[in-house]
């Protein structure tokens, strides 16, 4: 019976909680409104600045139209499948953070902070790719299925470096494609040589002189000649001025977050003030706290 009484006394009553909120309702409302007004004025500064000052062109959007062209003749003659795969692979490589980071370190354009470690720098470039500072738009049905666009957005003063950056990135992509497809070319070439030697050494009616054999091998070699680049710029660069606008939705989100934070903070302060008032009313508890405070000096 006594234990039940003690537990009931220790429980926090909801009525007591509501009573604290009601008692400090004016403080909660005034504190929240004050924070809302201050944060609203602070967050609205970009909007006020945009209205009072003319809009400035802060960045440029550069569009490159690329085409898969220099594929070994022997593969092209097999059909469009190889060229399709090369085009898809190239599209992916132009969004590969590791390749982009290599080119950007040579000519900083989409990211100026180049002092990070390798993994951190690649992670930073990945965030830039997600933010579409560089991206490949979705492919559209076209008469030229091996063409695709790459969009690059940079600061206006970085336009010249961006052109060098893209040339470096194009070189990185072509080298990566070459590494992927060169083994396939070598395999087919060696298989063709082996088949030719088998035919020439067999007891067939084919009789060729040494010069004819050499000529035939040279023709095969030409069919499998390694050519770079695989991807080339098909069209000139389109430069579109981009006016940096104020992100109103971002301002609204921040304002809502600050408002809710102010409400919770005001409630916390209200309970803290109420607790302090209760302690001061209890002379014994207040005396203990004051003695502890004095002892800590």
The reported pLDDT for the residue numbered 192 is 73
DSSP alpha helices (H): ranges in 131-234? Answer: 159-201, 210-223
Percentage of the chain modeled with pLDDT above 90: 15
243 vs 135, residue with greater confidence: 135
55 vs 193, residue with greater confidence: 193
Residue partners of 57: CB distance under 8 A and separation at least 6: 156, 241, 242, 243
| 90, pLDDT greater than 50 | yes
What is the three-class DSSP state of 292?
Answer: helix
| 285, pLDDT greater than 80 | no
Q: Which residues is 238 bridged to in the sheet?
A: 63
200 vs 12, residue with greater confidence: 200
Cα separation, 288 vs 283, whole angstroms: 9
Cα separation, 92 vs 173, whole angstroms: 9
Phi first, then psi, for residue 241 (nearest 5°) are -65, 135
| 113, pLDDT greater than 60 | yes
E strand spans, the chain: 57-68, 134-135, 147-155, 231-233, 238-243
The reported pLDDT for the residue numbered 32 is 93
210 vs 131, residue with greater confidence: 131
66: tokens are: 């690329």
The reported pLDDT for the residue numbered 33 is 94
| 10, pLDDT greater than 60 | no
Question: What is the separation of C-alpha 40 from the centre of its chain, rounded to a whole number of angstroms?
Answer: 30
DSSP β-ladder status, 147-155 and 134-135: antiparallel
The reported pLDDT for the residue numbered 52 is 58
The reported pLDDT for the residue numbered 226 is 52
The mean predicted confidence, pLDDT, of the chain is 76
Nearest to 62 by CA among 138, 148, 157, 166: 166
213 vs 43, residue with greater confidence: 43
Least confident interval from 8-22, 115-129, 143-157: 8-22
136 vs 82, residue with greater confidence: 136
Nearest to 183 by CA among 70, 68, 78, 75: 75
pTM for this prediction: 0.52
Nearest to 166 by CA among 153, 180, 156: 153
The reported pLDDT for the residue numbered 80 is 47
Q: Which residues is 240 bridged to in the sheet?
A: 61
Segment 185-207 shows an average pLDDT of 68
């Amino acid at each position: 019976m006594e234990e039940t009484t003690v537990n009931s006394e220790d429980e926090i009553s909801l009525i007591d909680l509501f009573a604290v909120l009601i008692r400090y309702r004016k403080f909660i409302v005034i504190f929240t409104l004050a924070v809302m007004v201050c944060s609203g004025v602070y967050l609205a500064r970009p909007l006020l600045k945009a209205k009072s000052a003319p809009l400035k062109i802060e960045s440029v959007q550069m569009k490159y139209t690329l085409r898969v062209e220099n594929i070994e003749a022997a593969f092209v003659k097999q059909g469009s499948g190889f060229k399709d795969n090369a085009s898809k692979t190239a599209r992916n490589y132009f969004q590969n953070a590791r390749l982009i980071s290599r080119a950007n370190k040579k000519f900083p354009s989409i990211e100026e902070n180049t002092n990070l470690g390798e993994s951190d720098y690649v992670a930073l470039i990945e965030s830039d790719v997600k933010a579409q500072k560089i991206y490949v738009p979705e492919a559209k049905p076209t008469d030229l299925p091996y063409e695709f666009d790459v969009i690059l957005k940079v600061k206006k003063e970085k336009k010249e470096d961006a052109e060098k950056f893209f040339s470096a990135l194009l070189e990185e992509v072509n080298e990566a494609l070459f590494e992927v497809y060169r083994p396939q070319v070598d395999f087919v070439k060696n298989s063709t040589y082996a088949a030719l030697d088998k035919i020439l050494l067999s007891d067939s009616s084919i009789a060729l002189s040494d010069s004819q054999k050499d000529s035939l091998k040279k023709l095969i070699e030409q069919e499998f000649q390694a050519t770079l680049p695989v991807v080339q710029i098909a069209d000139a660069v389109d430069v579109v001025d981009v006016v940096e606008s104020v992100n109103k939705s971002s301002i609204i989100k921040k304002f809502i977050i600050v408002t809710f934070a102010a409400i919770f903070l005001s409630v916390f302060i209200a309970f803290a003030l109420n607790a302090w008032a209760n302690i001061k009313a209890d002379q014994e508890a207040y005396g203990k706290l004051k003695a502890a405070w004095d002892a800590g000096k």
